[in-house]
Structure 1
């Protein structure tokens, strides 16, 4: 039977199957690249569940609640994005040419650059989350969850696949229209925070643009690891800037 490519609720469940480990009914249907518009909504759902954890854990202290938020997000996504961040840092800085960088990124072992990237970005996320939770700004977790997933679709639409294999290649080339809808959804979430949300959105543009230029120069495009790194950098940047405005 022909595949239904019209946007719908099936795209949201497909996005959740692709980007999370949430217990959804298995599907033999491959998530099409045009469903990437729903990735910010999947991120908002992950953020909403994490925000509930933050609200429940707040009496334990903002720092502990922030740590639990990071833990539950990693559990819900299978640490997919954190793994991408670590592999990206190892590959882009640990290799001398494209072939070596891609080989390092494919290696399941983590190196010094990867450890440092996880540590620094994780500390930034934790610090910002602790401030936001202490100020009872739980909605920000939902908003940033949505905002930080839109860049993945943009990178897939704008850059070629550098490896020719892997998760990014399996999903396929994301249509610019789908990526654009995802950006509009992410912007809508950002606007609910007013000026703070727009500042966070601007920070995401700067951070992810820098990553995109570096990936293009060093490996010739994007991979699934680059996409994961973009989510982590986007989340850390947005949380930091928004927290600075709201707390």
Structure 2
């Protein structure tokens, strides 16, 4: 039980900007529990986003959408966006594999990274705007950050690291497929309340498989940047699918 609590604190420290000035023990057990807690941290983030949306429900929809997106990014400190930019710079360079890895390790952000960041945030903001405009039930805003972080866990555990070094590799040594399954437990209650959560999980699982195949082909493995990019990409993937669904429901003359 103590390791589980330390794992939750470690996950909060790693995934959010919530100030928790506590020195967590860095052991295989706390790392395992931290990864299992990733979706739980996502549910916390989602709960805050729902609260923001409810507080601004009488404001113009574009302002509400921008506020939700701003809090979304602020809570994570842009941690996962950094991974997206690094991968964009590496792939945009059109260089051999060894050079792509060098570019990913460079702390400076290039033009491709900035362009992808702008379009990623723009698409997220517009899709949030559309879903809020359609008055979609806000449970999706709770589930999305949790499932996005589960996607990161699944990629980390089920895909070999390209190099035997780095933070992702050190985490991976403590993990197994059991942790991927246990990480879903925080979603069980939400799935009982909203069965459609299961469909979202299946959609995210498809995204993880696609991401795994792409990273193995392009980089011969993964690193921490790719785990972060999977979280961001999984959230965008769900936003697109949810928008498509609510667009159909709203526009369909059958109303189904």
TM-score, normalised relative to structure 1: 0.87
SS of match in other structure, 2:46: helix
| Unaligned runs of at least 5 residues, structure 1 | none
Find the structure with the greater CA-based Rg.
2
**Aligned position for 2:253:** none
User: 2:136, 2:9 → 1: CA distance?
Assistant: 29
Matched residue SS, 1:96: coil
- C-alpha distance 167-206 of structure 1, shift in aligned 2 (>3 A): same
What does residue 216 of structure 1 align with? 216
Deviation at 1:95, TM superposition (A): 4.4
Conserved in 2, the CA contact under 8 Å of 1:200 and 1:239?
no
Specify the alignment match of 2:64 in structure 1. 65
Match of 2:23 in 1: 27
Q: Deviations over 1:71-91 (max 9, x none)?
A: 112111110011111111222
For 2:77 and 2:96, how far apart are their aligned partners in 1? 30
Question: 2: distance between equivalents of 1:13 and 1:194?
Answer: 29
Instruction: Give SS of 2:23's match.
Output: coil
Structure 1 residue 93 displacement after superposition: 3.6
Q: Which residue of 1 aligns with 2:102?
A: 103
Asked whether the equivalents of residues 148 and 232 of structure 2 are also in contact (C-alpha less than 8 Å), the reply is yes
> Contact (CA 8 Å) 1:131, 1:243: kept in 2 or not?
yes
How big is each residue's C-alpha offset from its partner over 1:150-178, in whole Å with a ceiling of 9 and x where there is no partner?
A: 11111111122224443323433322111
* Cα 1:214–1:187 shift into 2, 3 Å: farther
User: Please, which runs of 5 or more residues in structure 2 have no aligned partner?
Assistant: 251-256
**Equivalent-residue separation in structure 2 for 1:208 and 1:68 (angstroms):** 28
Alpha carbons 1:33, 1:172 under 8 Å: kept: no
2:229 corresponds in structure 1 to 229
* Inter-partner Cα distance in structure 2 for 1:158 and 1:60: 43
Aligned to 2:45: 46
C-alpha contact (below 8 Å) 1:147/1:187 kept by paired residues:
no
Paired residue for 2:143?
143
* Rounded Cα–Cα distance in structure 1 between residues aligned with 2:188 and 2:122: 26
* TM-score, length-scaled by structure 2: 0.84
Distance 1:186 1:212, change over 3 A: farther
- Aligned residue pair count: 242
The corresponding residue for 2:254 is none
Asked if structure 2 preserves the Cα contact closer than 8 Å seen for 1:90 and 1:104, the reply is yes
Secondary structure in structure 2 of the residue aligned to 1:228: helix
Cα displacement string for residues 108-147 of structure 1 (whole angstroms, at most 9, x for unaligned residues): 2222332232233222221221233331632211111111
Contact 1:153 1:179 in 2 (8 A): yes
Distance, in Å, in 1 between the alignment partners of 2:179 and 2:222 is: 18
